[in-house]
Amino acid sequence: MAGRYDVIVLGAGAAGMMCAIRAGQRGRSVLVLDHAAAPGEKIRISGGGRCNFTNIHAGPKNFISANPHFAKSALARFAPRDFLSMVESHGIAWHEKTLGQLFCDNSAKDIIVMLTDEMRSAGVELRLRTEISAVEPVIGGGYRVSTSEGTFEAASLVIATGGKSIPKMGATGFAYRIAEQFGLPLVETRPGLVPLTLDPQLLQRLAPLSGIAAPAEIRHGKTAFREALLFTHRGLSGPAILQISSYWREGDEITVAIEPDIDIFVMLKTARQANGRQSAQTALADILPKRLAQHFAENEGMSGNMADQGDKRLQQLAAAVQAWPVKPSGSEGYRTAEVTLGGVDTACLDSRTMQVKTVPGLFFIGECVDVTGWLGGYNFQWAWASGHVAGEAA
């Protein structure tokens, strides 16, 4: 005999738990299944252990999708303020770090405890360490889920098993297989919010810079992000690179501008006038970390005194620092990517409910859907919003 519920949610991550809470609050009997030993594992490791749980400025412009309008409805129905109200009602201390990014003061675990408490209050049943072997529609309506812990049936089935990023933490691509099983279209998946790698030659030249961070603007076509850039022993990282990585495609070039708020050409000319006997490297080191200044000065062959450098040479040096074309060789891939771009094509989903238009009772929410946020709390906001609207309808 199969256990019967109104709603089965596959995946006890951010989206799945939020959906289960809302459905349970509506009086639906809800079962959440997950193969992991604990719920919300990605929440636990997020935001450096403090969970950047939302962004107060979150809007459709902060998301990447084949249909940029799709996310509007869910984001409007469950806004950052709504999640913040829940956080505050649980007495969780929080702060805004930068750019509207809200973090827990203490620990990301506070958010997990909040969600599991809310699930309990809403009467949701959570079963962990449960391997899912098959999902099938039941004749006459509803779905049957076969698992290592038995068979369960429900009128509504919500797929909230996330994307492919960090396979070590149990990411499986399960949602895409279910989508394929039901004949639903997928948008090609690729790693997002991920460090970019460099070819061995360039990497060797940049090796002395490993560990250095600097404010930068990274551009790819018309898209640009101003945040920190970090040189690593594999290539380039830091928030600015993670952001642009979601737009970058294999073979593309990006443009790096270090210290974009400073006009380096003007700064160099002023330095030459003030002290013609200093080297370009010394002048640059006034605004750049020393090793970075050395790298650019040497690379541009800037030896001798500033007084000996004409405007053209200073312009060349400034351009090297602020219009530096870099062709990454690849990315670190799903191993370290914070998110998966692409996924279940939004064209097959109702944006108000996340239900599959052609398959009544089947829902996809969270990261497995082709809606991917920027770095900065946007991905959790999408998980909460899409989970909430599905929980209203499932």
Q: Are 58 and 68 in contact (CB under 8 A)?
A: no
Size of the residue set binding ligand FAD (CB under 6 A): 35
The residue (of 14 and 244) whose beta carbon lies closer to ligand FAD is: 14
CB of 155 to ligand FAD, least distance (A): 20
The residue (of 90 and 127) whose beta carbon lies closer to ligand FAD is: 127
- Rg (Cα) of the chain, in Å, rounded? 25
Which residue's entry shows tokens 């079963």? 127
The residue (of 55 and 309) whose beta carbon lies closer to ligand FAD is: 55
CA distance 321 to 345: 40
Candidates 14, 114, 230, 287; binder of ligand FAD (CB under 6 A) is 14
For residue 170, how many other CB atoms are within 10 A of its CB? 17
Instruction: Name residues whose C-beta falls within 8 Å of residue 54's C-beta, 6 or more positions apart in sequence.
Output: 80, 83, 84, 102, 377, 380, 381, 384
| DSSP assigned state of 169 | G
102 near ligand FAD, judged by CB under 6 A: no
46 near ligand FAD, judged by CB under 6 A: yes
List binders of ligand FAD among 254-313 (CB under 6 A): none
12 near ligand FAD, judged by CB under 6 A: yes
339 near ligand FAD, judged by CB under 6 A: yes
Which candidate, 164, 158, 168, 229, places its Cα nearest to that of 45? 168
Candidates 45, 213, 320, 326; binder of ligand FAD (CB under 6 A) is 45
CB of 126 to ligand FAD, least distance (A): 11
The residue (of 13 and 260) whose beta carbon lies closer to ligand FAD is: 13
List binders of ligand FAD among 201-230 (CB under 6 A): none
Candidates 7, 8, 9, 15; binder of ligand FAD (CB under 6 A) is 15
* Stretch of residues binding ligand FAD (CB under 6 A), selected from 32-40, 201-209, 215-223, 288-296: 32-40
CA distance 310 to 312: 5
List binders of ligand FAD among 121-180 (CB under 6 A): 132, 160-162, 165-166, 170, 172, 174
Q: Tell me if residue 101 falls in helix, strand or coil.
A: strand
CA angle 110, 173, 339 (to 5 degrees): 50
383 near ligand FAD, judged by CB under 6 A: yes
The residue (of 45 and 267) whose beta carbon lies closer to ligand FAD is: 45
CA distance 59 to 18: 19
Which candidate, 377, 322, 328, places its Cα nearest to that of 195? 328
Residues for the chain: how many in total?
Answer: 394
Contacts with ligand FAD by CB under 6 A lie at 10-16, 34-36, 41-42, 45-47, 51-52, 132, 160-162, 165-166, 170, 172, 174, 338-339, 366-367, 377-380, 383
